[in-house]
Structure 1
Amino acid sequence: MEFFLGAFESEWERRRAALLHERSLGRGKNSEEEERRRRGGAVPTASLTAGRKHGGAKRGRRSAGFRAGDGFGAREPSMRSRFASLASGSQPAVVKMASFGGGNRLGAMIGYISRNGDVAVENERGEQLRGRNELSTVRGEWDHLMKNRAESRDIGSFVVEVKDQVDPAGDIHEQARAILKRGLGDRMFAFAASPRNDDKGFTVEGVTVLRDSMGERLTGDGKASAIVQGRLDGDEGEQIVATTFRFTGYGNGTDYGSARLRDLIGRHQGAVQDEQGGVIADAKQAGDVVQLKWRGGLHSRKPRDIMHVILSARAGTDVQAFHAAAREFLAQEFAGYRYVSSLHDPSKDPKAEEAGGKRPHVHVHAIVAMRSDAGDRIETTIAVFRRWRVTMAEKARAHGINMEMTDRRERASASAYSKNQVRPTNRHGRTEHKGTSEVAQRRYDAKRSDRHSFTQTERSRRYTDFARRQWEALATEHDDKRVEGFARSQVIRLESEVMSDHPRPHGGRKTERLRSQFITHLVSLEEIVSRDEPMRQMSRSEFEAYEKRVEVALFQAERVTPADERANFDEIASAAREHVSVRRELMELQEQNGERIASDEPRLREGDNDANVRWDKAVACHGLRTVEAANEIMLEVEHYREAIDLADAGEISANKASLQASLDLVLARVGELGASGNTLIREIAEVDHDLRIAIEAAERARERGGKLTSETSGSSGIPAVPAAQEIFRDRDDELSRVRTEEQRNRPVADGTRPSRDRASPPSGDATRTDPAQQHIPRLEQLQRETDERQERERDDRER
C-alpha cells in the first residue's frame, strides 16, 4: 500500500501518520534518534561519555560559561534576539505541568478538561471525541499503560471514646493528649475533646499523620484501628483507661490534611490543640500546621501514570492559530505517546466564571500517558521543560503568533507557586488566591507583584550575569525607544543582585533591594503612562484595561516604596491618576461624538468629503508641514474648548479652572506658532478672536525681547508660566476693553443710547489715542462670529 505524506496539510498530521505507518510495518526509530528524544537534546559523544565516567571533567569544562541558546544548539534562538522580541511585545511561551495522577484519575481528569463532555476532546490520532460515552473509551485504550499503583495514605481522622476519667477534676485535654500519645506513639496529631452526655467520660476527635519518625505507617483502616486499640489496652489486656479507638477515614497529601483539620476547627471553635499543647485557633493556623510542620513527615507519594499539561497564551491571541500551534507542539514532543487535548476558548466555555470557567486567555489542556506503547517513559526535568517552551514558541511563530521562550533567571522573576500552596478566593477575571500558610502567602505575593528573586547556585548566577550583559547591549544598540526603555528596566532589575552583595547604610541590603524594586516599578509605570502615542483615543474596553494596568503598577510600587521616597511616590501617583482622568474624558468625548456621528451618517459622509477638499486646498495654499502643525495644535484647542463647554453644561465632572489653564497654555503655543510665521494659523486667527489676541501678544513679547524659545519652555513644548501669563494678561485687558465698549453702547431704559459726548472719559483714558480701541467694531464682529460658531456646535451636539 502506497503512503503519501503530502496528502496531509499540517505538520503534526504528517508526523502522526508517518509514525503510525512505521509501526504498522514493524519499524521504529533507530537507537540514536530514540536516545536523543529521551534525553531532550543531542546524543552524548563517546569522548563526553568517557569524560563523565572518569570524574565528569568534560561536564565541568562545558558548564564554565554561557552563550545565547546554551543547551539546544541551533534550535533555540540567541538570547539577544529573544530579548529584542520580548521588548517589542512578544509574549512568553507558557507550558505548565499542572499535575500528575494515577490511572484511576484518568476519567476525572478527562472530564475536567472536556467540561464533562460539553467541550470536544482530540486524541493523538486527530479524532474528535464528544460526550461521555466516547470519552469513556479512552480508559480502555490506555489501560495497559497504567500501573495503577495506589497512592500513599498520609493523614487519618479518628475518634476516641473515653468512658471513665482517671481524674474527673483534671483537664480533659491533658488526659486526652496522654491517651493519644500512648496509642499513636510519636506521630504528630491535632485533637479536640468534649464531655460525654453521661458526665462520666469524654469524646476525642482528631487528625493524625499516619507515618511516625521511624518510618512505620499506619493504614488508617480497621486493621490500623486494632493496632492502636491494642496499645491502649496495655500489654496484659487490661485497659489503663476504658477507651475505644477507631479510624474514621484517611487520605493523601496536605490538601486532605488541611481540609480535615479545618473541618475539626469549624466544629470545635478554639478547642483544638496539637500533640505539644499548642492551640490551633483558625483555618490559617491549620494551614500553617499542615504545610510547615506535618508536610516533611508525610513522605507522600502518588502514582504518575498520566500528567496534565497546560499551554496558554495572552488574552486576545488568535484562537485558531494558537490551537494549530498547540496541536503541532503535542505531535512533536509526545510522538509515540497517547494523549488527549482540549481547547478552552473564553468565548465558548460552557463553565460559568464563578465556577472557574471563562478564563480571560485562550489555553489548551492535554492529558498525556507517561509511558508509551514501546515502554519508554517521559522525563520531566528542567531541561525538558525548557525544550518544551522552545518548541511551543517555534510552533506559535510558525502560525503568526509572536512568542518566545523565557527563563526566569533572565529577569530574576520569583518562583511559581503550586496549587497546593494557595486556594482561590475570587474567580472573576484573573483568579485571586490566598496562601494556605505564611510561607505560601509570601511566595504568592512575590509572584503576583513580580518581585526580584535570584537563584543562588553558581551556574545560575553566571547565567543571570550573562543575561544582564545581553540586556545592556540591547539597550545600547537598539534604535527603538520602547525596546531601549524595556531593556534598561531589565538592567536595573538585574543590577539589584549586584547591589545586594554589598551592604549599604540606612537599612542595608533590605532597603537597597526595596529601593531597586521601587525604581523598577516606576520605570514600568512610565512605560504604561507615556507610550509613543501618549494621547491616542481609546475604546472603553481599552481604557479600562489601561486604567487597571496603571493602578496595578501604582500598587506594586507603593508596596516597596522606601520611607524617604513616600512624598515622591505620592506626587507621581497623583500625576499618573490625573493623566488617567484626562484619558477618561477623551474616551467619553469620543463615545459621545460616535453617537452623534451614527445618528447623522449621510450628512457626515458628505462632511468627510468636504473636509478632504478643504484639506487639499489648505495643503496647496500653505504647504503640508504648515497644515499638519496647525491641524495638530488646533485639535488640542478644540478638545479643551469642548471639555469646558461640557463642564459648563454639567455633562462631565471636571475642574473647569484646570481645563481653562490648560487651554490658556495651548493658546500660548498657538500664538507663538502664528508669530513664527504659520500662515494657516494666522488665517484661522482672522475669525478666531482668542487666537488673534494670542498671536498679537506673542508678537509684542517678541518685540520686548521676551521671545518664547526653548529656554522659556519646558521639555514638552509648553511655554513657561510667566510668559504665558504675560500673553493672556494682554488678552484679558483687550477683552475687558471690548466689554466696556459694549456696556457703553447698551440702550438705557428709555430706549436711547447714551451719548459719548455726555459721558466724560475718566482721568487717564487713552481711548482716543490707543490704536487698539480703533478696532473695537472689528473685535465685536469677531466676538459675535465666535459666539455664533460655538452656539452652532453646541446645537449639533444636543441634536
Structure 2
Amino acid sequence: MNRAAQIAWWARQVADTCRAVDVARECRHRPRPLVECVDELKRGRGRVASLPKAPAAHKIIRGETITGYLDEERKRSLPVSSSGGGSNPVASPRVGEQPTSIAGGMGGRAAGQGATGRARLLAAGYQPAVVKVLSYARGVTRVTKTGQYVQREDVPLETHDGRMLADRETVAEEVRAWAPSFSKRAESQDVGAVRLTLKGVKDTENGRETYEKAIAAGFTGHRYAYRLDPAPSGDPEARLVVALAGPSKERFRVRHEQIGEAEHGFVRKRFDIASEARIKERIEVATGIGAQAIHVSPGMTNHGRNGVTYRLNTLVEHGEAKDDRGKIIANVADARLAAREWGPSLRSQSVRDTMHLMLSAKAGTDVEALRRTARAFLQDRFGDHKFMFGVHVDKETEGHIHVHAVIAVKSESGQRIHPGPETFREWRQVYAQHAQAEGLRIVATSAHERTSSQSYGPKDKAIVEAAERPRPSREARDRAYAADPVNRRLIQSARQRIATARTNPIRLPLSAPARKAVNESVQAWRMVARLFRGN
C-alpha cells in the first residue's frame, strides 16, 4: 500500500467515525427501550476495518514488532497469553485472526463502550464478571489436597486435555504426573540465629554498652532481637535473631562451607563475603574495634513469619530479649506479636507450584453454559498450562455458583504466572467475552465503579470458624487458639471484615484514580437513568 492509498484509507475511517458519532449523539437524546439499546451494542462490534497489512494488536503485545519480526526482549518479559488446545469454537483468536470485542468491556471509548456501556448492560440485567485467586500451593502433598478439595462432593474434574477425574485417587494420580514440572527452588531464608563476639570487650557496664552499639550498627535497617549472655570465658556474647532482608535491596546471605573431607568433616554456616564484610565494617566504624576482633557467625535459618516465631521462642527460652525498637520479648505471646510486626519487612518469597482460581456467577446461571465458558476461558488464558476444573453448585442457595480451577503456575514453555491488577482486569474481560459467547449475561466491570467494600478471604473464614465451631479432629487445639489472648484481636478483625463484606457499605474512593473511575461511573449511571426512566 503506497502513501496516497494510506491517506485515502485514513480519510475514509475519519468520515465513518464522524458519521457514527453523529448517530450516537442523536441516539443519546432519543429514549428507546433498553433491550433495543443492548441489541445495538452487540450489532456495533467490529465496524471499523483493520488497516491492510498491519499486524493485529494481539500479535504486537505478544512479542512481535511492528516490522513483523520477533522481539526477543518482549518474549522474555511478557508472558504469552496461551490459546488453543481445546475444541471449543469460542476460544481466543489465533494469530492472523481479528479478536472480537467484549460487550461492555473495559476497553473504554476505544471499544465503543466505556463506563456508559457497562452501566447499560448492568441495568439490563447483566452480572459482573468475578475472577479470584483463592490460594497457591507448593509440593505434591499440598497440591493434591487442593485438587481433592475442588473435587469434594464427588464433583468430576475436567483436565486441560479433556480427561475426567472422578475420585480422589485419580486427582492424586494427576498431581503426581504434574510433579516433574514443580519448582525445585527452596523457599527464601528470611530469618536466622546469629552469634556476635567482640574480642577484648569485658562483661562490664561499658562492655555491654559497646555490644549494644555494635549490634545497632552491624544490623542497622534489619529487624532483630538480642540477648547478652556470659560466654564460658567470662566475656559477654550476643545471641541474636536477625531478619536477613534489610533496607533497599540488601539481604544477608548464609552459605554452607564444607570443612574437611565429606566423610569425616562437617558443614559450617557462614555469611557470604559481602554480608560479613558489611556487618564488620559498620561495627568497626561505630565502636572502633578492628575487624579481626569481631566474630559474627550465623546459625539455623527459617522461612516466613512462622520461622520468626520459632526463632524468637528459641531465643527467649533462656531469658528475655530486646528488639531493635527497645521492646522486651519475654514469652510466646511476645514472640508472636513481634513476628507479625516483622512480617512486612521480611520480603519473603514462597515457592508456588499451583494457583487455585475461582470464577463466580449468580444463582440461576445455566450450569452447562458456565462449564463451557470456564473451559474456553482456561484454554484461552492457560492453554499452555496443566489444569483441572469443576463446577460447584452447593452455594446456589446462597446466591451464587462457582467454577474452581487448579492451574500449574509453570507453563510447558517455562513461563510462570505472576498475576497483578492488570492481569485480573484482563481475565475479567476474557471471562465476560466467553460468557457472552455462550449466551450468559456477564460483563467485565471494575470494583471502583461499584464502590463495593473489600470482601473477606478464605483465611478470615477459617479463623472465625476455628474460633466459633472447633473441628472435631482438632477441638482442643482450636479452643486453645480461640482462648489465647494474642489471637483475640486477629479473630475480631476477621469477624469485622466478614460483617463489613456482608452489609456491603459504600466504599469511599481515596486515591485520585479511584475518584476518577467513580466519577465516570456516576456520570454513566446518571445518563442511563435519564435515558431509561422507567427502568
Shorter chain as denominator, the TM-score bin is 0.5 to 0.7
**Of 122, 128, 132, the match for 1:92:** 128
Determine the structure 2 residue equivalent to 1:152: 188
Distance 2:519 2:441 in 1: 26
Q: Does 1:468 align with 2:522?
A: yes
SS of 2:407's partner is strand
1:337-393 per-residue CA deviation (whole Å, 9 max, x = no partner) reads 332224455479xxxxxxxxx999543332334554456666745444223213323
Q: Distance in 1 between matches of 2:309 and 2:136?
A: 20
1: CA distance between counterparts of 2:240 and 2:291?
Answer: 27
Corresponding letter in the other structure for 1:208: V
Matches within 5 A, 1:683-762: none
Alignment CA distance shift 1:439-1:221 (3 Å):
farther
Matched, 1:310 2:348: no
Larger radius of gyration: 1
Q: Among 451, 458, 463, which residue is 1:425 paired with?
A: 463
Distance 1:425 1:197, change over 3 A: farther
Q: Aligned partners of 2:128 and 2:232: how far apart in 1?
A: 66
Map residues 37-116 of structure 1 onto 2, 5 A cutoff: 38=62, 69-71=105-107, 79-80=115-116, 82-84=118-120, 86=122, 91-98=127-134, 105=139, 108-115=142-149
* Alpha carbons 1:160, 1:203 under 8 Å: kept: yes
Whether 2:485 is the aligned partner of 1:452: answer no
> Where does residue 766 of structure 1 map in the other structure?
none
Give 2:302's match in structure 1, choosing from 210, 233, 250: 250
Alignment of 1:3-402 (within 5 A): 32=56, 35=59, 38=62, 69-71=105-107, 79-80=115-116, 82-84=118-120, 86=122, 91-98=127-134, 105=139, 108-115=142-149, 120-129=156-165, 130-132=167-169, 135-138=172-175, 140-141=177-178, 143=180, 148-157=184-193, 166-167=202-203, 177=212, 180-181=215-216, 185-191=219-225, 193=227, 206-213=240-247, 215-220=249-254, 225-227=269-271, 246-252=298-304, 255-256=305-306, 259-260=309-310, 263=313, 271-279=320-328, 295-296=344-345, 298-302=346-350, 306-314=354-362, 322-344=370-392, 346=394, 362-370=401-409, 372-373=411-412, 380=419, 382-396=421-435, 402=441
State the shift of 1:462 in Å.
4.0
Distance 1:286 1:374, change over 3 A: same
Alignment of 1:529-568 (within 5 A): none
- The alpha carbon displacement at 1:322 in A equals 3.8
> How many angstroms apart in 2 are the aligned matches of 1:317 and 1:435?
39
Residue identity opposite 2:521 in structure 1: A
Q: CA separation in 1, counterparts of 2:177 and 2:384? A: 18
Change (3 A) 1:395 1:277: same
Q: Aligned runs of 1:473-492 on 2, under 5 Å?
A: 473-480=527-534
Taking structure 1 as reference, are residues 469 and 287 closer, same or farther at Cα in structure 2, changes over 3 Å only?
Answer: farther
Following superposition, the deviation at residue 158 of structure 1 comes to: 5.2
Q: Look up the match of 1:9.
A: none
Deviation at 1:210, TM superposition (A): 0.8
Distance 1:139 1:31 in 2: 41
Alpha-carbon separation, structure 2, partners of 1:344 and 1:238: 66
Q: Deviations over 1:710-749 (max 9, x none)?
A: xxxxxxxxxxxxxxxxxxxxxxxxxxxxxxxxxxxxxxxx
**Which digits, 9 at most, give the CA deviation of each residue in 1:482-518, with x for residues without a partner?**
x6xxxxxxxxxxxxxxxxxxxxxxxxxxxxxxxxxxx
Q: Deviations over 1:605-639 (max 9, x none)?
A: xxxxxxxxxxxxxxxxxxxxxxxxxxxxxxxxxxx
Report if aligned partners of 1:187, 1:208 keep a CA contact under 8 Å in 2: no
Q: Secondary structure at the match of 1:406?
A: coil
RMSD: 5.9
- State the AA in 2 paired with 1:326: A
Summarize the Cα distance change of 1:191–1:456 in structure 2 as closer, same or farther, 3 Å threshold: closer
CA distance 1:155–1:439, change in 2 (3 Å): farther
Cα separation, partners in 2 of 1:286 and 1:418, compared to 1, 3 Å: farther
Q: Secondary structure of the equivalent of 1:115?
A: helix
Within-5 A mapping of 1:570-609: none
Counterpart of 2:465, as a letter, is R
Q: 1:95 to 1:206 in 2, by over 3 A?
A: farther
CA distance in 1, matches of 2:331, 2:239: 17
The change in CA–CA distance for 1:167 and 1:439 in structure 2 (over 3 A counts) is farther
Task: Report the counterpart of residue 656 of structure 1 in structure 2.
Answer: none
Q: C-alpha separation between the residues in 2 aligned to 1:464 and 1:283?
A: 46
More helix per residue: 1
Q: 1:409 aligned to 448, 454, 460, which one?
A: 448
Amino acid at match of 1:456: S
**Does the C-alpha gap of structure 1 residues 473 and 76 become closer, same or farther in structure 2, counting only changes over 3 Å?**
closer
SS of the equivalent of 2:428 reads helix
Q: CA deviation at 1:110?
A: 4.1
Q: Which runs of 5+ in 2 are unaligned?
A: 1-53, 68-102, 258-267, 470-481
Is the Cα contact below 8 Å between 1:154 and 1:211 reproduced in 2?
Answer: yes
Q: Residue 114 of structure 1: SS of its match in structure 2?
A: helix
| Shift, 1:408, TM fit | 1.7
- Per-residue CA deviations over 1:155-213 (Å, capped at 9, x if unaligned) read 224578999994478998x787457447x532523436487999979997653211344
2:507 maps to a residue whose letter is H
Query: Any unmatched runs of 5+ in structure 1?
Result: 1-29, 47-66, 349-357, 484-799
* Structure 1: distance between partners of 2:468 and 2:442: 21
* Residues 209 and 294 in structure 1, CA contact (< 8 A), matched pair in contact too: no
SS at match of 2:463: strand
Distance in 1 between the 2:395 and 2:498 partners? 28
Give the CA deviation at 1:469.
0.9
Tell me the equivalent position of 2:30: none
| TM-score (norm. length: structure 2) | 0.55
What do residues 380-412 of structure 1 show as CA deviations (whole Å, max 9, x unaligned)? 454442232133234445667654322022133
Compare the two structures and name the one with the higher strand fraction: 2
TM-score when normalising by structure 1: 0.39
* Higher RCO (Cα < 8 Å, 6 or more apart): 2
State the secondary structure of the residue aligned to 2:220. coil
- The verdict on how the C-alpha distance between 1:262 and 1:452 changes in structure 2, with shifts beyond 3 A counting, is farther
Cα distance between partner residues in 2 of 1:366 and 1:428: 25
Shift, 1:477, TM fit: 3.5
Contact 2:211 / 2:238 at 8 angstroms: preserved in 1? yes
- How far the C-alpha of 1:95 sits from its partner, in A, is 0.6
**Counterpart of 2:161 in structure 1: which amino acid?**
R
Distance change in 2, residues 1:392/1:265 (3 Å): farther
Q: Paired residues, what number?
A: 406
* Structure 2 counterpart SS, 1:277: coil
Q: Give % identity.
A: 22
Q: Secondary structure at the match of 2:385?
A: coil
Instruction: Output the amino acid matched with 2:387.
Output: Y
